[in-house]
């Protein structure tokens, strides 16, 4: 989601050299982005280090950043660690959200508050505080062209032709209450797979890969794609889909960046910060309620299989 803000900064300051500091697991999402000139990764496992080793690790990292001699640091996240890195980097311009305990170390505090506006606008307003002009809110993702043949060979091996409509399903999410039940996905796949002109690809992330039910029950009805190790494999297969059905997860943002029509099964209590795509963008939402009262049934409740299938037919037709 930060790619819109990064593009705004690059377009506003075309001579700038932008280096992105990201957690290690997000590097592949941003690799190849034409608005990013370099990427530095960090690992949150540093929090597990104690005592002198922790202090030495933090000091060496700050020393490394300071050696880069940045003119400006723009933090798109609130957090004391980011403010400290920004200050000790030696950059003369330091911009971050106002919600920081050490905001006095910043030169500009962006007046944004988490959960009060969409996170897309949250990042863009921080870019504006830095001086960037916002022209568009679209997201960016760069497909690795070297993997185009891999995608074609994968689909061919699974018996999927260029004439088939492909419906992708990604059943994962960051927490159980944001997930539609496995049983509902099974029923939906059963209905969709009866259409001989429609093929279903089930995308397995790290969490779904551990649940044997997906492989055991669905492998006879759908193409199972283990994309847990490669965001590029997921992106290339998504780019071939006519429609994606998913929970509120990172996959829906990737799909939006690739301009793939998407049905997101979405918690109705997170509309303000997270529901910022529109049907004009090809992004459709079916709202449901989190089931938090029943410990044995902690999934996204109240959305029916029939409701989702009707939306599938509406979009594909």
Model confidence over 185-233: pLDDT tens digits?
Answer: 989 988 998 876 789 999 987 766 666 555 555 666 788 898 988 999 9
Q: Which two tokens stand for residue 58?
A: 């933090």
The pLDDT assigned to 219 comes to 60
Asked if residue 182 and residue 104 are part of one domain, the reply reads: no
In a domain, 307, yes or no: yes
Going by C-alpha positions, the residue among 67, 61, 23 that lies closest to residue 42 is 23
Angle at 39 between CA 38 and CA 40, to 5 degrees: 130
CA atoms 14, 280, 76, 47: torsion sign: negative
Going by C-alpha positions, the residue among 176, 123, 139 that lies closest to residue 283 is 139
43's CB contacts (< 8 A; 6+ apart) are 23, 24
% residues pLDDT > 90 (the chain): 69
Asked if residue 192 and residue 118 are part of one domain, the reply reads: no
Structural domain harbouring 51: 3-130
**Residue 29 in contact with residue 231, Cβ under 8 Å?**
yes
The band of 60, judged by pLDDT with boundaries at 50, 70 and 90, is very high
In a domain, 137, yes or no: no
Sequence-separated contacts (24+) of 77-86 with Cβ below 8 Å: 78/114, 85/21, 85/61
Indicate the SS3 state at residue 131: coil
Domain boundary among 104, 130, 156: 130
Asked if residue 108 and residue 168 are part of one domain, the reply reads: no
In a domain, 52, yes or no: yes
Domain boundary among 70, 95, 130: 130
The pLDDT assigned to 44 comes to 75
pTM check: above 0.75: yes
In a domain, 142, yes or no: no
Q: From CA 57, how far away is CA 44, in angstroms rounded?
A: 12
Q: From CA 151, how far away is CA 68, in angstroms rounded?
A: 38
Going by C-alpha positions, the residue among 173, 188, 204, 187 that lies closest to residue 267 is 173
For the stretch 126-143, pLDDT in tens is 999 999 999 999 999 999
The pLDDT assigned to 293 comes to 75
Mean pLDDT of 24-32: 89
For the stretch 39-52, pLDDT in tens is 999 887 777 778 88
In a domain, 124, yes or no: yes
End-to-end CA distance of the chain: 29
Q: From CA 311, how far away is CA 316, in angstroms rounded?
A: 9
Asked if residue 18 and residue 165 are part of one domain, the reply reads: no
Domain boundary among 130, 159, 177: 130
Asked if residue 22 and residue 64 are part of one domain, the reply reads: yes
Mean pLDDT of 82-90: 95
Look at 70 and 24; give whichever has higher pLDDT.
70
Asked if residue 307 and residue 161 are part of one domain, the reply reads: yes
Asked if residue 163 and residue 126 are part of one domain, the reply reads: no
The pLDDT assigned to 270 comes to 86
For the stretch 146-159, pLDDT in tens is 999 999 999 999 99
Asked if residue 113 and residue 174 are part of one domain, the reply reads: no
Asked if residue 53 and residue 99 are part of one domain, the reply reads: yes
The pLDDT assigned to 209 comes to 63
* Residue that has been written with the tokens 């990427």 in this structure: 39
Q: By mean pLDDT, which of 64-73, 106-115, 190-199, 271-280 is the weakest?
A: 190-199
Domain count of the fold of the chain:
2
Residue 240, domain CATH: 3.40.50.2000
Asked if residue 154 and residue 124 are part of one domain, the reply reads: no
How much is the mean pLDDT over the chain?
Answer: 91
Asked if residue 165 and residue 29 are part of one domain, the reply reads: no
* Residue that has been written with the tokens 């060496």 in this structure: 60
Q: Is 173 left (phi over 0), alpha (psi -120 to 50) or beta?
A: beta
In a domain, 138, yes or no: no
Q: From CA 130, how far away is CA 137, in angstroms rounded?
A: 17
The pLDDT assigned to 50 comes to 80
The pLDDT assigned to 111 comes to 96
Asked if residue 112 and residue 153 are part of one domain, the reply reads: no
In a domain, 287, yes or no: yes
In a domain, 109, yes or no: yes
């Amino acid at each position: 989601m930060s790619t819109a803000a990064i593009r705004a900064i690059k377009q506003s300051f075309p001579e700038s050299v932008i280096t992105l500091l990201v957690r290690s697991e997000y590097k592949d999402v941003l690799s190849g982005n034409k608005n990013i000139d370099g990427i530095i990764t960090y690992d949150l496992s540093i929090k597990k280090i104690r005592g002198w080793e922790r202090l030495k690790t933090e000091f060496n990292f700050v020393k490394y950043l300071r050696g880069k001699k940045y003119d400006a640091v723009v933090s798109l996240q609130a957090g004391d660690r980011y403010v400290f890195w920004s200050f000790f980097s030696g950059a003369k311009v330091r911009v971050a959200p106002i919600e920081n305990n050490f905001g006095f170390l910043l030169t500009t505090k962006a007046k944004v508050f988490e959960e009060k506006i969409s996170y897309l606008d949250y990042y863009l307003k921080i870019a504006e505080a830095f001086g960037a002009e916002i022209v568009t809110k679209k997201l960016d993702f760069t497909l690795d062209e070297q993997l185009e043949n891999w995608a074609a060979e994968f689909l061919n091996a699974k018996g999927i032709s260029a004439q088939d409509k492909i419906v992708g399903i990604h059943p994962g999410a960051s927490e159980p209450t944001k997930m539609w039940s496995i049983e509902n996905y099974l029923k939906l796949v059963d209905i969709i797979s009866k259409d001989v002109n429609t093929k279903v690809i089930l995308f397995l992330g790290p969490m779904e890969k551990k649940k044997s039910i997906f492989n055991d029950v669905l492998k006879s009805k759908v193409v199972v794609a283990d994309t847990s190790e490669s965001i590029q494999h997921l992106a290339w297969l998504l780019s071939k889909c006519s429609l994606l059905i998913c929970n509120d997860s990172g996959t829906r943002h990737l799909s939006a960046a690739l301009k793939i029509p998407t049905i997101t099964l979405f918690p109705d209590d997170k509309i303000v910060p997270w529901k910022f795509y529109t049907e004009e963008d090809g992004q459709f939402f079916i709202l449901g309620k989190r089931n938090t009262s029943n410990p044995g049934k902690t999934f996204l409740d109240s959305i029916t299989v029939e409701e989702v299938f009707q939306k599938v037919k509406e979009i594909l037709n």
